[in-house]
């Protein structure tokens, strides 16, 4: 989860005061926006804004309290500051009486121009990891852990630390943070998340978060194409374990970013909506074909004739995990032919076979036992088993 939060400046003043610098900050402590005020010759005040970002930023300046002063334009004052704007005057307050004056101001800024953003909802994004690799979605839209508010339509993929991160859409790299090496589940870690922010041609932003320390493989100002390698996944910021947080977000006039629902290219080329708990292969243009294989597609018939010679010397159950599917095999590694009763003990899981099973297994032989899968919507699932056996003549 990441929060590229709004920046806010507040000022309260009575009578005359010396000029002050008002500086807004956001997560990552990168200073893009400054607001200063100066006393004017008529006893009023002028407000000047600086934009140090490489893209325009939107500023909204309001005065919840004005006494003895009048703004030179309707409130709130909304301005788009071009990249590199320096000390641009955006507002003036003029005296309207000789009595005591006071004001209270509030300013917010956001990256980009909310009035110019028209997200292409039909655009199909690439899955933001290596072509031909398969990962599970651990938290999807409206996820209960952190996907609320501006992160409502974010998606978490279970990439491990150091796994390659690829651009989901072409755009301009406008912001990077990669100096953090700490993370944890508490909200206090939010500002420590490393990230890459890429602006798309329609004004929206691709947000890639929780990268490892020094994990950006691009620099601010780079133009990247969809599918390009841009970084390495990590576990920084507010995170309960290694993963990649991705969302597409747009700026709003309130000074916040808001994520949007998006379509992604599936392994078969179809445009799909991502679902929590499922696994997805990334398919990137111009890359070699690959065979997609999912544990969810396995059935008992796939293992109907499974027998394998083993030499374990013991009675046991072997487990193969494929995605979120567990395939269980019963092993008789002894020198005796056995009749084996198996009792499956499941919590939050379902089996493709009855829970009470009996098999006659030859010496030093492995046979298929069952397929287990977590039930839909379950956050914790467990399985166990009990074995009882009798020797056969």
Whether 16 has a pLDDT exceeding 60, the answer reads: no
3-class DSSP state of 218:
coil
Q: What is the pLDDT of residue 40?
A: 93
* Mean pLDDT of the region 27-50: 84
Q: What is the pLDDT of residue 140?
A: 84
Categorize the per-residue pLDDT at 328 as very low, low, confident or very high, splitting at 50, 70 and 90: very high
Beta-bridge partner residues of 299: none
Whether 60 has a pLDDT exceeding 50, the answer reads: yes
Q: What is the pLDDT of residue 143?
A: 79
Q: What is the pLDDT of residue 164?
A: 98
Which tokens is 351 given? 């089996």
* Mean pLDDT of the region 277-281: 93
Tell me: the pLDDT tens digits for 216-256? Answer: 999 999 999 999 999 999 999 999 899 999 999 999 998 89
User: With contact defined as beta carbons under 8 Å apart, do 61 and 37 qualify?
Assistant: no
User: Which percentage of the chain shows pLDDT scores above 70?
Assistant: 92
Q: What is the pLDDT of residue 30?
A: 53
Which one has a higher pLDDT value, 293 or 21? 293
Whether 361 has a pLDDT exceeding 60, the answer reads: yes
Categorize the per-residue pLDDT at 142 as very low, low, confident or very high, splitting at 50, 70 and 90: confident
Sign of CA dihedral 79, 83, 87, 88: negative
Cis upstream peptide for 204 (omega within 30°)? no
Q: What is the pLDDT of residue 5?
A: 38
Categorize the per-residue pLDDT at 15 as very low, low, confident or very high, splitting at 50, 70 and 90: very low
| Domains of the chain as residue ranges with CATH | 7-113 (2.60.40), 124-292 (2.70.70.10), 297-391 (2.60.40)
User: With contact defined as beta carbons under 8 Å apart, do 48 and 87 qualify?
Assistant: yes
Which one has a higher pLDDT value, 146 or 6? 146
Categorize the per-residue pLDDT at 2 as very low, low, confident or very high, splitting at 50, 70 and 90: very low
Give the separation between CA 206 and CA 222, rounded to whole angstroms: 14
Which tokens is 340 given? 């084996």
Give the separation between CA 54 and CA 199, rounded to whole angstroms: 11
- The reported pTM is 0.84
Q: What is the pLDDT of residue 31?
A: 80
Q: What is the pLDDT of residue 98?
A: 80
Q: What is the mean pLDDT of the chain?
A: 90
Q: What is the pLDDT of residue 247?
A: 96
* Mean pLDDT of the region 291-320: 95
CA dihedral 207, 210, 212, 215 (to 10 degrees): 0
Rg (the chain; Cα; Å)? 29
Q: What is the pLDDT of residue 14?
A: 34
* Mean pLDDT of the region 283-288: 95
Q: What is the 3-state secondary structure (H, E, C) of the chain?
A: CCCCCCEEEEEEEECCCCCEEEEECCCCCCCCEEEEEEECCCCCEEEEEEECCCCCEEEEEEEEEEECEEECCCCCEEEEECCCCCCEEEEEEEECCCCCCEEEEEEEEEECCHHHCCCCCCCEECCCECCCCEEEEEECCCCCCCCCHHHCCCEEECCCCCCEEECCCCEEEEEEECCCCCEECCHHHHHHCEEEEEECCCCCEEEEEEEEEEEECCCCCCEECCCCEEEEEECCEECCCCEEEEEEEEECCCCCEEEECCEEECCCCCEECCCCCCEEECCCCCCCCCCCCCHHHCCHHHHCCCEEECCCCCEEEEEEEECCEEEEEEEECCCCCEEEEEEEEEECEEECCCCEEEEEECCCEEEEEEEEEECCCCCCCEEEEEEEEEECC
Whether 99 has a pLDDT exceeding 70, the answer reads: yes
Tell me: the pLDDT tens digits for 156-170? Answer: 999 999 999 999 999
Residues whose CB is less than 8 angstroms from the CB of residue 98 and which lie 6 or more positions away in sequence, other chains included: none
Q: Lowest mean pLDDT: which of 139-153, 154-168, 190-204, 357-371? A: 139-153
Categorize the per-residue pLDDT at 211 as very low, low, confident or very high, splitting at 50, 70 and 90: very high
């Amino acid at each position: 989860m990441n929060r590229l939060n709004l920046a806010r400046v507040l000022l309260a003043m009575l009578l005359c005061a010396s000029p002050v610098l008002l500086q807004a900050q956001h997560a990552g402590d990168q200073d893009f926006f400054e607001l200063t005020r100066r006393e004017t010759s008529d006893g009023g005040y002028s407000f000047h804004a600086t934009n140090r970002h490489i893209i325009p930023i939107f500023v909204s300046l309001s005065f919840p309290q004005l006494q003895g002063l009048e703004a030179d334009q309707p409130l709130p004052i909304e301005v788009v500051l071009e990249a590199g704007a320096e000390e641009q005057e955006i507002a003036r307050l003029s005296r309207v009486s000789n009595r005591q004056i006071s004001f209270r101001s509030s300013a917010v800024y956001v990256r980009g121009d909310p009035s110019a953003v028209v997200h292409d909802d039909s655009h199909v994004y690439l899955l933001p990891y290596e072509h031909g690799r398969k990962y599970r979605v651990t938290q999807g839209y409206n996820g209960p852990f952190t996907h609320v508010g501006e992160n409502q339509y974010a998606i978490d993929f279970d990439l491990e630390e150091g796994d390659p991160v690829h651009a989901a859409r072409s755009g301009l790299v406008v912001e990077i943070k990669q100096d953090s090496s700490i993370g944890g589940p508490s909200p206090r870690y939010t500002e420590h998340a490393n990230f890459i922010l890429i602006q798309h041609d329609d004004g929206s932003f691709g947000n890639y978060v929780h990268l490892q320390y020094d994990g950006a493989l691009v620099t601010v100002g780079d133009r990247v194409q969809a599918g390009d390698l841009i970084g390495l996944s990590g576990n920084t910021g507010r995170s309960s374990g290694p993963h990649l947080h991705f969302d597409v977000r747009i700026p709003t006039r309130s000074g916040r970013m808001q994520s949007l629902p998006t379509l992604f290219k599936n392994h078969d080329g179809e445009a799909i909506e991502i679902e929590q708990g499922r696994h997805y292969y990334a398919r990137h243009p111009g890359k070699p074909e690959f065979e997609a294989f999912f544990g969810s597609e396995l059935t008992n018939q796939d293992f109907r004739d499974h027998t394998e010679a083993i030499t374990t010397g013991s009675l046991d159950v072997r487990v193969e995990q494929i995605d979120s599917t567990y395939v269980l095999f019963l092993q008789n590694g002894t020198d005796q032919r056995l009749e084996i009763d198996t009792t499956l003990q499941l919590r939050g899981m379902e089996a493709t076979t009855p829970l009470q099973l009996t098999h006659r297994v030859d010496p030093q032989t492995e046979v298929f036992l069952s397929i287990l899968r977590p039930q839909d919507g379950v956050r914790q699932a467990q399985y166990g088993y009990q074995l009882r056996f009798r020797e056969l003549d």
